[in-house]
Amino acid sequence: MTEARTNRGHDHDHGDPHAPIVADGQPSYYEIMETAIRELLVERGHFTAAEIHRQIDLLDSRTPALGAAIVARAWTDPAFKVRLLADGRATVEDLGISFYDDTGLVVLENTPEVHHLIVCTLCSCYPRPVLGLPPEWYKLKPYRARAVAEPRSVLAEFGTVLPDEVEIQVHDSTSMARYLVLPRRPDGSDHLSEAELAALVTRDAMIGVRLVELPQGSRS
């Protein structure tokens, strides 16, 4: 079995490695803190509620469909893929997708030998300009801890069972470096258009917890 390797920008206590990756339906620590800090900053005049709403509208305009289109382009345009892997942010910006912060974007290609998994052990750093808001489970401590400590088990819980010989590399996002997984193109998809390929790509595949698969009966 190939052991997982972690690329981490900071070290943290990973807590209980056996806690399940589930939400309990209650507001998370980060949701409570966000509300409290937002209300305090508005009260003190650092910005207005209208400015907050404009920023929320900008965030809401970003969805995993942007990332899926990027993946599909990379699958169908070898030159674009080379540029994307060399400089993710600049290549994405060339498509007209703006970044509203100073973060970089590193694109990691899954291969038959290596599978990439994204996590942020410190909080929930995430490639929001191309994927939108992170899913709740991405922000929970069980995922943040266990993705590093036992990534193969975490992947299995998402239904992703990889051969033992596949190396799993775990990448820990930081405040300045965000990651996007370029999943493997599914076998039998040569007949699909770029738009049809993009429709197959899920948010979870671009985080690395799932594979991209063809619907049954759609292979060429």
Please say if 124 is a catalytic residue. Answer: yes
Residue 39 Cα distances to 30, 51, 84, 123, angstroms: 14, 13, 39, 21
Please tell me the distance from the alpha carbon of residue 210 to that of residue 220, in angstroms, as a whole number.
22
Please say if 218 is a catalytic residue. Answer: no
Question: What are the boundaries of each domain within the chain?
Answer: 5-10+63-207
Considering the four listed CATH numbers 3.90.330.10, 3.40.47.10, 3.40.630.10, 3.40.50.11310, the one that applies to the domain covering 5-10+63-207 is: 3.90.330.10
Residue 89 Cα distances to 5, 156, 219, angstroms: 24, 31, 33
- Residue pair 160/210 in contact (Cβ under 8 Å)? The answer is yes
Given this model, what pLDDT does residue 43 score? 83
Main-chain dihedrals φ then ψ at residue 141, nearest 5 degrees? -60, -40
Question: What sign does the CA torsion over 141, 130, 25, 27 have?
Answer: positive
Please say if 123 is a catalytic residue. Answer: yes
Q: What's the gap between Cα 13 and its chain centre?
A: 22
Summarize pLDDT for 113-149 with one digit per residue, the tens.
999 999 999 988 999 999 998 999 999 999 999 999 9
Angle between helices 29-43 and 49-60 (to 10 degrees): 140
CA geometry: angle 55, 68, 84, nearest 5 deg: 95
Given this model, what pLDDT does residue 73 score? 98
DSSP letter for 40, please. Answer: H
Q: Which of 28, 61, 98, 123 is catalytic?
A: 123
Given this model, what pLDDT does residue 116 score? 98
Please tell me the distance from the alpha carbon of residue 146 to that of residue 17, in angstroms, as a whole number.
5
Q: Which of 28, 61, 98, 125 is catalytic?
A: 125
Given this model, what pLDDT does residue 19 score? 52
Q: Which of 124, 153, 173, 189 is catalytic?
A: 124
Residue 52 Cα distances to 56, 63, 144, 171, 189, angstroms: 6, 19, 28, 31, 42
Q: Which of 28, 61, 98, 120 is catalytic?
A: 120
DSSP letter for 167, please. Answer: E
Given this model, what pLDDT does residue 13 score? 38
The residues, any chain, with a CB within 8 Å of residue 56's CB and separated by 6 or more, are: none
Given this model, what pLDDT does residue 110 score? 98
* pLDDT < 50 stretches in the chain: 1-3, 9-18
Please say if 125 is a catalytic residue. Answer: yes
Cα dihedral 170, 175, 177, 181, rounded to 10, equals 50
Given this model, what pLDDT does residue 181 score? 98
